[in-house]
Structure 1
Amino acid sequence: MLVATLVSAHGQALLSDALLTRLANAVSGVTRQARLDGEVAADLFVDGADARKLEADIRAALDGTAVDIIVQPAATRRKALFLADMDSTMIGQECIDELAAYVGLKDKVASITERAMRGEIAFEPALRERVALLKGVPASVVDEIIRERITLTPGGRQLVRTMRANGAYTALVSGGFTVFTGPLGATIGFDEDRSNTLLVANGVLTGAVEAPILGKQAKLDSLVELREQRSLSRAATLAVGDGANDLAMLGEAGLGVAFRAKPAVAAAADARLDHADLTALLYAQGYRGDEIIQA
């Protein structure tokens, strides 16, 4: 039995009775439908379907309506381990680009970031190249950047706090830097954070990052490590990210979700969120609107 969770675009309630009926009629094998949160989120339960085909059929029936679709086995939808990327996923910015803005190099650094996230260049050398451009930046600007430039992605705090309240373990696993993941991870509510360490001397960035660099392989390794520590099945894990360095982690998770992702990442992930906020990952697990802990 598969469940197709349908979630309206952030701030909208698009799943009218007429639309839900149209979607249910567009695929064969629908056994029942259930509302999770009014016209914001709903489930279609489908027997004997292929997940990719089911998603494609529903997407075609949506005819451009801003509703996201997450298809997975119904029996294993509730997750006990959640790993998330930070930049452009749990927050709306790339922290290294905001550091570069301090020295007037945001456009240059952002272009390297974009190529790395698309998988056009390897993550580790791209990170070293970008960090080298930050040499001499006062470490103290980090607090100012967090305070004035960083915004949390809608639904992220609700997602993490609701999962933790229901016994799940949550980890922020970032190719960014500890000076950001520490305070931001705590603000969002994660159990732990893992990321890279910028080297500092005399209060300024040296232009180097401590080895080894946490990239694609380290994110995958973190998922496997945390899963094995808790004796969980693969199906009990959830991961979300947007860039090429998230692909291995997303591929290993029971449900790997691409959030506002680069095309290659969206195509490879189990599901993608193009419209909804991060509470969609709670609806995907079967949480109802009244079960979500509001931050």
Structure 2
Amino acid sequence: MHIATLVAAPGRLAPAMVETLRNAWGGGDAVWLAPDETAEFAVAEVPGHAEDVWRSLQDEGVDLCVQPAQGRRKQLLIADMDSTMIRQECIDELAEVAGVGERVREITARAMNGELDFEGALLARVALLEGLPTTVISEVLAERITYMPGGAALVATMKADGARTVLVSGGFTAFAEAVGATLGFDRVQANELLEHDGALTGDVARPILGRDAKVEALRRETAALGLGPEAALAVGDGANDLGMLGLAGTGVALHAKPAVQAECRLRVNHGDLTALLYLQGYARDEFATP
């Protein structure tokens, strides 16, 4: 048995659309998790044209995710930070302040789409920040970083239901620790920007934490819980997230780069981070208060 979940921006999911798809797929009764926003129904088999249906619904501003019904609620949330839990790429924002924004954004875009080696791209970008005062980090956090809607509710609800929550970033601890504390994550993992005499040196501490480190974190955290990777829900947007997205029981590409969406079964482009709760079967009135 599988569950088909339809998610749209609030007020954008029409009951007629849900009923049309449910009838076409021979699904069970529709269950509305949030009025005019999210509904789901059970199907015995996934139709062979499900990908075509997904594409057509994308044009209507609706995400369609189909997954096995068993074991949907997860005991571990492992999440990327940049362009996932927050709207920005922190290194890009630092680069803007340093006056090298265009050069760094181009490298970031290519790296996140899998066109460049992550570690090499990170070192090339960080080198362009050499000499930037470390005080700029707190300024960027306060003035340029905004949170992805639904993140606090996602973390709070999963923790209230007994899950562990881990923020794993290829970015920097100076940002990840602040973001993790604000959103209530249990643990944070990221790279450390090196500094000397109040300025960035243009380098990061070794080893560099990239794609493999995220996979290792997922394995480590589920093992600590006495569980396997299937107990994890992973979310990310970039090529360095693909390892953990593929290993997790539920891997969600959130507003992801084209190369990432091409390899992921579960994709959310129109909903926010609360979509990850809906995919686990939580109704909006079950969300915990952050």
TM-score by length of 2: 0.96
2:40 to 35, 39, 43: 43
Report the alpha carbon displacement of residue 54 of structure 1 after superposing the two structures with TM.
6.4
TM superposition shift of 1:45: 0.4
Q: Do the aligned partners of residues 213 and 61 (structure 1) sit closer, same or farther apart at CA in structure 2, a change above 3 Å counting?
A: closer
1:78 aligns with 2:73: yes
Secondary structure of residue in 2 paired with 1:157: helix
1:258–1:265: 8 Å Cα contact kept in structure 2?
Answer: yes
Q: Which one of 7, 13, 17 corresponds to residue 15 of structure 1?
A: 13
Deviations 1:96-147 (CA, angstroms, capped at 9, x unpaired): 0111111110110110111110111100011011111111111111111011
1:16-31 to 2 correspondence within 5 Å?
Answer: 16-28=14-26, 30-31=27-28
State whether structure 2 residue 108 is matched by structure 1 residue 110: no
Give 1:5 shift. Answer: 1.1
Q: 2:36 corresponds to which letter in structure 1?
A: E
Q: Which residue of 2 aligns with 1:146?
A: 141
1:100-249 equivalent positions in 2, closer than 5 A: 100-249=95-244
4+ aligned runs moved over 3 Å, structure 1: 60-63
CA distance in 2, matches of 1:26, 1:189: 42
2:283 partner amino acid? R
Moved more, 234-243 or 78-87: 234-243
> What code does the residue aligned with 1:211 have?
R
Offset, 1:26: 2.4
Distance 1:282 1:45 in 2: 17
2:95–2:101 Cα contact (<8 Å) kept: yes
Quote how far apart the aligned CAs of 1:59 are.
2.2
Bigger mean CA offset, 57-66 vs 261-270: 57-66
Q: Corresponding residue for 1:32?
A: 29
Q: CA deviation at 1:46?
A: 0.4
Change beyond 3 A, Cα 1:62–1:109 = closer
Q: Which amino acid aligns with 1:252?
A: L
Q: Which segment is superposed worse, 188-197 or 19-28?
A: 19-28
Opposite residue 40 of structure 1, the aligned amino acid is: E
Alpha-carbon distance in structure 2 between the residues aligned to 1:267 and 1:63: 14
TM-fit CA distance, 1:61: 6.0
Structure 1 regions of 5+ residues with no counterpart? none
1:162 deviates by 0.6
Q: Distance in 2 between matches of 1:231 and 1:54?
A: 38
1:250-289, CA deviations, whole angstroms, 9 ceiling, x for partnerless residues?
Answer: 0000011111111110111121111001100001001011
Quote the residue 1:287 is aligned against.
282
Q: 1:61 to 1:141 in 2, by over 3 A?
A: closer
- Match of 1:88? 83
Deviations 1:3-24 (A, max 9, x none): 0111112xx2233321111111
> In 2, distance between residues paired with 1:61 and 1:127?
36
Q: Quick one: structure 1 residues 82 and 109, their matched pair in 2 at CA, closer, same or farther if it must change by over 3 Å? A: same
Q: Distance in 2 between matches of 1:144 and 1:77?
A: 40
Letter in 2 for 1:18: A
Q: Alpha-carbon deviation of 1:181?
A: 0.2
| 8 Å Cα contact 2:167/2:188 also seen in 1 | yes
Larger deviation: 187-196 or 60-69?
Answer: 60-69
Structure 1 residues 26, 177: CA separation in 2 closer, same or farther (over 3 Å shift)?
same
Describe the SS at the equivalent of 2:141. Answer: helix
Q: Name the CA shift for 1:200/1:261 in 2 (closer, same or farther; >3 Å).
A: same
Q: Distance in 2 between matches of 1:128 and 1:234?
A: 30
User: Helix, strand or coil for the counterpart of 1:77?
Assistant: coil
Paired amino acid for 2:210? G
Aligned residues: 290
CA, structure 1 residues 26+14, in 2 after alignment: closer, same or farther (shift >3 Å)? farther
